[in-house]
Amino acid sequence: MKNAVGRDIPEELLADGVEVYQGLDYRQDYDYQKATPKTRANVRSDQSKLVSLKEAIEKTGLKDGMTISFHHHFRNGDYTMPTVMKAIHEMGIKDLYICASSLGKAAKDIVPMIEDGTITRISSSGVRDEVGEAISTGKLKHPAMIRTHGGRVRAIETGQVHIDVAFIGAPSADELGNASGKGGRSDCGVLSYANVDAEYADKVVVLTDTLVPTPNHPASISSIYVDYVVEIDEVGDPAKIASGAIRLTDDPRELKIAQSAAEVVVNTPYFEDGYTFQTGAGGSSLAVTRFLKPYMDAKGIKMGWALGGITEPMVNLLKEGYIGAILDTQDFDTASVASVHETPNHFEISTSEYANPFNKGAYVNYLDYVILGALEVDTDFNVNVVQGSDGMIQGAPGGHPDTSAGAKVTIIVTPLVRSRIPSIKDRVTSVTTPGESVDVVVTDNGIAVNPQRQDLIDSLQAAGVELTTIEALKEKAYDLVGTPKDLEFEDQVVALVEYRDGTIIDTIKKIKS
Amino acid sequence: MKNAVGRDIPEELLADGVEVYQGLDYRQDYDYQKATPKTRANVRSDQSKLVSLKEAIEKTGLKDGMTISFHHHFRNGDYTMPTVMKAIHEMGIKDLYICASSLGKAAKDIVPMIEDGTITRISSSGVRDEVGEAISTGKLKHPAMIRTHGGRVRAIETGQVHIDVAFIGAPSADELGNASGKGGRSDCGVLSYANVDAEYADKVVVLTDTLVPTPNHPASISSIYVDYVVEIDEVGDPAKIASGAIRLTDDPRELKIAQSAAEVVVNTPYFEDGYTFQTGAGGSSLAVTRFLKPYMDAKGIKMGWALGGITEPMVNLLKEGYIGAILDTQDFDTASVASVHETPNHFEISTSEYANPFNKGAYVNYLDYVILGALEVDTDFNVNVVQGSDGMIQGAPGGHPDTSAGAKVTIIVTPLVRSRIPSIKDRVTSVTTPGESVDVVVTDNGIAVNPQRQDLIDSLQAAGVELTTIEALKEKAYDLVGTPKDLEFEDQVVALVEYRDGTIIDTIKKIKS
């Protein structure tokens, strides 16, 4: 069955009323009743929630076939998930569904558990590195579900995914379960991804290496959602959680792209006092933030708020008074970890507040600009940020489709060619973000605006910004490095790429070995 | 049908599986599935939520027979509820169920709406003044339901009460609906009672007189729960919301009671470093806080956290370093309004976090001491804080039964006799808080400890604190002013007194006219 971006989705994969992608506004004003957890009343007992990890797993009633969840705020330094999965594996529990916010390098220990049937289903935003390879080569029993950050909240809140037990690693927690992204030995700043897990899972286990006195406020996770608190040796490796400092690019090509993207921003009509902004953490994306400063000075305006994953350049702009507020869902470096809850107007928000398409209005809906990267862009402006040029799953939709849908101007920054492989193509290997939500593609070889945004074309041309077309960019890329060869895949679908509203936008097939 | 405090509850009033009071721990470890609202997905629209009050009421689909809710953080200065009800009344909508956190003097305008059938059902904690009189004299079509603060959250979260439309007055809000108890012209400090309304109502309307730029963080009510934002002239009268300063008693009788209560606290085993504490806002209760300071100095200890409704003496102790943290659900004076979110470690919490008996453990469960007032106490230690000596409903359970159940030591402070009416009686007019959750009664004529707490009797006697019995206190009161005459009531039940777990602890009948 062909979907609205022209991808053929096998009907046998569309279980349980799941539909194929129908377009950006398919579910606008969709009425539904939220799902809920089963819970247990604690009328007046002050019994301690502190138990050992094994006790916690036993007391939650975890058994074969259940769904468990994890967050990825510890990023490459996460010890929580490996610790929990090791204990579950030793207890012999099988056929588990892992509902993760993302799975990166720190999740590599679960590959043998995928192979031995401990884990048979996975949903995640990012699926990278060893786990990405295991899924790409067909080792997971059921196709993985690749979800956006907003889509994960939606899936849980609609009941599409019911979490039996949430395991929430926290840099600090008190004995009642109040958990924070700060106050410990391995701070990650915020716990935004885990809010929905705490609210919707039947049982919630908080794991920490730093027990602090009650009340551990401000708490990202409230004790009223927590069944058990487990003290473990280390929740993470601080050196790998937050980068000491995100590399500020000095690559001339990246700087050129960033400068061009900044010119697009400042020459479109939303660049007014109070404009709202998000940028990814890639080299070019980050550099855009720096380039905006002189333009704000010149125009005498300030940014209203900045959203999403946060890095030091944004924190600095806040401290210097260029931004009204930061609404933070993830901290990528030590500066942003240190700043959240400390710098005035640097606030933690939940992932539902950030990007959930099924609440009454997430912050992404109110974004003026978002600057995002891409692995591939096609001539329909569809973007792939999940599948590498070798066909391997190595990326994450994250908030890419969420912010693209919400922002008034979505700008993709990408080099025209990477390692002799064109980034602009006739057809992306798989669609992560539909072209109808992408407005501008900025490369080191020119800027193309989506023809559906004639208003932006007019503004940019009036300002003297030179534009080309997406087809011309593709031709130029092909001229430089030749027409790319189609990758070869087997028939087995190893992953479904879910759009944020729950429809299927693409499938990923097993790499031909 | 007789309940566990010996009160006869007519079976015909026990609709829908409601049971009579069975004892404090009846629902401990009760498993249930939480209720949920219907909601509407706002996938990516950035359409303004700002509408007029009439538009908001129309757009929510409010119609005859529905349930609407209000909070009482504006206390006697609330203009929000009268403004909303006036508009609803003008639109001719009838047979409404008002689910309020409390109804005081500011709600007097709804009396004619009770009389004309606009309002036919009410649940509330406090029902005072004109509304209390209307209910007491049988004007409301169905019996009112008197709920505790924790019980209200439970009733909503279990689905016993389903709120169709929540109207949430806020001192400040942004256009997205982020609402705060501060930042406006009529600050009330916190919006704790309204959290559950926002999360569980199908439709949520925020009303404010102070629109502020987005994001209005920290937000007590998140925009993701808000359907409409309405700007009204005035949400409240600042002079009546928070008292300039709560009267610090110089009444020798109140001071004597407070001093005795402080002696009880300091001579029981929980008065250790990190002890936890709550006090009501009455004269004697408040004074206890002041008397504790020298004892803390002498023992070299500090309070871990203070809970509940907050006043200046508690804020001062926090600022002076005598308290680790304040967990705030209501602000009674301008000092506490000013302090919350500003003084380090003065935190706002939700009413679920405060006192909900059906979550995984509210703060009341971890209280060491609570000091509470009483209108009447009987020789079974049952307490009445709802019905006046004339039989009129004039009080509120508030957090009384919640904290009494949770605290390790529940201390009731009351003069033995008020206006020639004994406070200690054979039988309270109606039971609000069951005697099994009351440990100590402190009067100006002696201290009685509940015989079920032999441990406290031993501690206090060892410390040389003079004790008497509740029977002796009653006899003394009767000797002083005579045996009270039983009030006369008609057969009509005008209100049910619900215990925090949803069982019925007593009924209130129509006053004989």
Out of B176, B357, B360, whose CB is closest to A361? B176
The alpha carbon of residue B206 is apart from the nearest alpha carbon of chain A, in Å, by 13
Above pLDDT 70, what percent of chain B?
A: 99
The alpha carbon of residue A408 is apart from the nearest alpha carbon of chain B, in Å, by 10
Above pLDDT 90, what percent of chain B?
A: 92
Q: Pairing between strand B102-103 and B126-127?
A: parallel
In a domain, B7, yes or no: no
The sheet carrying A96-100 orders its strands as A228-231, A203-208, A165-170, A67-70, A96-100, A119-124, A144-146, A489-498, A504-511
- Return residues 471-510 of B near A (CB < 8 Å): 500-501
User: Are residues B187 and B328 part of one domain?
Assistant: no
Nearest alpha carbon to residue A202 among B160, B30, B34: B34
Mutate to test the interface with A, among B360, B365, B370, B437 (most CBs of A within 10 A): B360
Please answer yes or no on whether A44 and B366 come within 8 Å at the CB atom: no
pLDDT at A91 over 90: yes
- Return residues 263-282 of A near B (CB < 8 Å): 274
CA angle A340, A343, A347 (to 5 degrees): 45
Average pLDDT over residues B254-260: 95
- The DSSP element (H or E) to which B145 belongs, if any, is strand B144-146
Out of B31, B357, B500, whose CB is closest to A38? B31
Please answer yes or no on whether B39 and A405 come within 8 Å at the CB atom: no
Label residue B245 by pLDDT band (50, 70, 90). low
- Which pLDDT score is estimated for A449? 98
- In chain B, residues with a C-beta closer than 8 Å to the C-beta of A33 are 36-39
Give whole-number Cα distances, B95 to A166, A307, B114, B143, B493, in Å.
43, 45, 9, 14, 19
- What six digits make up the tokens of A124? 């995640």
Above pLDDT 70, what percent of chain A?
A: 99
Give whole-number Cα distances, A187 to A75, A153, A166, A497, B501, in Å.
11, 23, 20, 31, 39
pLDDT at A402 over 90: yes
- Residue A48 touches chain B, beta carbons under 8 Å: no
Taking the alpha carbons at both ends of chain A, their separation in whole angstroms is: 27
User: Are residues A220 and A260 part of one domain?
Assistant: no
Q: How many CA atoms lie within 13 A of A454 on its CB side?
A: 0
**Structural domain total, chain A:** 2
Please answer yes or no on whether A42 and B214 come within 8 Å at the CB atom: no
| DSSP class of A269 | T
In a domain, A8, yes or no: no
In a domain, B290, yes or no: yes
- Which pLDDT score is estimated for B301? 98
pLDDT in tens, B85-127: 999 999 999 999 999 999 999 999 999 999 999 999 999 998 8
Q: Packing angle between helix B283-299 and helix B312-319, nearest 10 degrees?
A: 20
User: Can you tell me the distance from the alpha carbon of A79 to that of A502, in angstroms, rounded to the nearest whole number?
Assistant: 30
pLDDT in tens, B188-215: 999 999 999 999 999 999 999 999 999 9
User: Can you tell me the distance from the alpha carbon of B325 to that of B225, in angstroms, rounded to the nearest whole number?
Assistant: 28
Within 8 A by CB and 6+ apart from A372, the residues are A279, A280, A285, A383, A385, A400, A403, A404, A410, A411, A412, A413, A433
The alpha carbon of residue B304 is apart from the nearest alpha carbon of chain A, in Å, by 8
- What six digits make up the tokens of B64? 């005859």
Nearest CA in chain B to A28: B43
- What six digits make up the tokens of A405? 């849908």
Contact indicator for A368, A410 with CB cutoff of 8 Å = no
* Interface confidence (ipTM) of the complex: 0.97
- Show which of B192, B212, B240 is a domain's final residue: B240
User: Are residues A376 and A322 part of one domain?
Assistant: yes
Please answer yes or no on whether A41 and B30 come within 8 Å at the CB atom: yes
Mutate to test the interface with B, among A27, A44, A216, A223 (most CBs of B within 10 A): A44
- Which pLDDT score is estimated for A457? 98
Nearest CA in chain B to A29: B41
Nearest CA in chain B to A352: B224
Average pLDDT along chain B? 96
User: Can you tell me the distance from the alpha carbon of A445 to that of A267, in angstroms, rounded to the nearest whole number?
Assistant: 19
Contact indicator for A79, A107 with CB cutoff of 8 Å = no
pLDDT at A247 over 80: no
What 3-state class would DSSP assign to A277? strand
- Residue A44 touches chain B, beta carbons under 8 Å: yes
Please answer yes or no on whether A226 and B305 come within 8 Å at the CB atom: no
User: Can you tell me the distance from the alpha carbon of B161 to that of B101, in angstroms, rounded to the nearest whole number?
Assistant: 13
User: Can you tell me the distance from the alpha carbon of B32 to that of A37, in angstroms, rounded to the nearest whole number?
Assistant: 9
Q: Which residue would you say has higher pLDDT here, A283 or A202?
A: A202
Burial class (CB in 10 A: 0-12, 13-18, 19+), B407: buried
Nearest CA in chain A to B304: A214
User: Are residues A319 and A269 part of one domain?
Assistant: yes
Distance of CA A480 to the CA centre of its chain: 32
- Residue B419 touches chain A, beta carbons under 8 Å: no
User: Can you tell me the distance from the alpha carbon of B395 to that of B385, in angstroms, rounded to the nearest whole number?
Assistant: 6
User: Are residues B276 and B137 part of one domain?
Assistant: no
The alpha carbon of residue A186 is apart from the nearest alpha carbon of chain B, in Å, by 22
Least confident of A84-93, A243-252, A446-455, B485-494: A243-252
Q: How many CB pairs under 8 A join A and B?
A: 212
Nearest alpha carbon to residue B497 among B416, B428, B440, B442: B428
Average pLDDT over residues A70-99: 97
CATH number at residue A233: 3.40.1080.10
pLDDT at B389 over 90: no
The alpha carbon of residue B45 is apart from the nearest alpha carbon of chain A, in Å, by 6
User: Can you tell me the distance from the alpha carbon of A136 to that of A392, in angstroms, rounded to the nearest whole number?
Assistant: 6
- Which pLDDT score is estimated for A250? 87
Please answer yes or no on whether A34 and B39 come within 8 Å at the CB atom: yes
Please answer yes or no on whether A31 and B39 come within 8 Å at the CB atom: yes
Please answer yes or no on whether B177 and A37 come within 8 Å at the CB atom: no
Average pLDDT over residues B269-291: 92
Out of B42, B274, B357, whose CB is closest to A41? B357
- The DSSP element (H or E) to which B443 belongs, if any, is strand B440-443
- What six digits make up the tokens of B156? 């909503």
- Residue with tokens 């220990």, as numbered in its chain: A109
- Return residues 177-216 of B near A (CB < 8 Å): 177, 204, 213-215
pLDDT at A244 over 90: no
User: Are residues B209 and B77 part of one domain?
Assistant: yes
Determine the length of chain B. Answer: 513
- What six digits make up the tokens of B91? 């639109």
In a domain, B511, yes or no: no
pLDDT at B351 over 90: yes
User: Are residues A354 and A235 part of one domain?
Assistant: no
- Residue B48 touches chain A, beta carbons under 8 Å: no
Burial class (CB in 10 A: 0-12, 13-18, 19+), A179: buried
- In chain A, residues with a C-beta closer than 8 Å to the C-beta of B176 are 361, 366
Give whole-number Cα distances, B171 to A273, B233, B411, in Å.
25, 11, 35
Nearest CA in chain A to B213: A304
User: Can you tell me the distance from the alpha carbon of B162 to that of B259, in angstroms, rounded to the nearest whole number?
Assistant: 45
Above pLDDT 90, what percent of chain A?
A: 91
Average pLDDT over residues B32-46: 96
- Residue B364 touches chain A, beta carbons under 8 Å: yes
- Which pLDDT score is estimated for B392? 94
Please answer yes or no on whether A43 and B49 come within 8 Å at the CB atom: no
Mutate to test the interface with A, among B21, B24, B34, B44 (most CBs of A within 10 A): B44
Please answer yes or no on whether B366 and A274 come within 8 Å at the CB atom: no
Out of B29, B177, B325, whose CB is closest to A217? B325
| Partners of B327 in beta bridges | B307, B347
Least confident of A180-194, B39-53, B80-94, B247-261: B247-261
In a domain, A61, yes or no: yes
- Residue with tokens 């538009």, as numbered in its chain: B55
- Return residues 283-342 of A near B (CB < 8 Å): 304-305, 324-325, 327
In a domain, B415, yes or no: yes
User: Can you tell me the distance from the alpha carbon of A30 to that of A356, in angstroms, rounded to the nearest whole number?
Assistant: 13
User: Can you tell me the distance from the alpha carbon of B27 to that of B11, in angstroms, rounded to the nearest whole number?
Assistant: 20
Please answer yes or no on whether B41 and A30 come within 8 Å at the CB atom: yes
User: Are residues B289 and B227 part of one domain?
Assistant: no
Nearest alpha carbon to residue A400 among A451, A426, A434, A352: A434
pLDDT at A249 over 90: no
Please answer yes or no on whether B360 and A218 come within 8 Å at the CB atom: no
User: Are residues A236 and A256 part of one domain?
Assistant: no
Q: What does residue A66 show for φ and ψ, rounded to 5 degrees? A: -80, 170
Rg (CA), chain A: 22
SS3 content of chain A, % helix, strand, coil (to 5): 30, 25, 45
What b/e sequence results for B255-269 when a residue is b if at least 16 CB atoms lie within 10 Å of its CB, and e otherwise? bbbbebbbbbbbbbe
pTM: 0.97
Average pLDDT along chain A? 96
pLDDT in tens, A483-513: 999 899 999 999 999 999 999 999 999 998 7
- Show which of A215, A240, A265 is a domain's final residue: A240
Please answer yes or no on whether A46 and B274 come within 8 Å at the CB atom: no
- Return residues 386-415 of A near B (CB < 8 Å): 405-406, 408
In a domain, B265, yes or no: yes
Please answer yes or no on whether A27 and B34 come within 8 Å at the CB atom: no
Containing structural domain, residue B119: 49-240
pLDDT at A245 over 70: no
- What six digits make up the tokens of B321? 């370093």
Q: Which residue would you say has higher pLDDT here, B476 or B243?
A: B476
Average pLDDT over residues B48-70: 98
- In chain A, residues with a C-beta closer than 8 Å to the C-beta of B359 are 39, 41-42, 224-225
User: Are residues B235 and B294 part of one domain?
Assistant: no
Q: Residue type at B27? A: R
- What six digits make up the tokens of B470? 């509740």
Nearest CA in chain A to B224: A360
Mutate to test the interface with B, among A360, A365, A367, A503 (most CBs of B within 10 A): A360
pLDDT in tens, A108-151: 999 999 999 999 999 999 888 999 999 999 999 999 999 999 99
Label residue A70 by pLDDT band (50, 70, 90). very high
User: Are residues A124 and A270 part of one domain?
Assistant: no
Q: Residue type at A239? A: A
Average pLDDT over residues A426-449: 98
- What six digits make up the tokens of B509? 């009948």
- Which pLDDT score is estimated for B165? 98
The alpha carbon of residue B116 is apart from the nearest alpha carbon of chain A, in Å, by 34
In a domain, B14, yes or no: no
User: Are residues A380 and A300 part of one domain?
Assistant: yes
**Cis preceding linkage at A252, omega within 30:** no
- Show which of B201, B220, B240 is a domain's final residue: B240
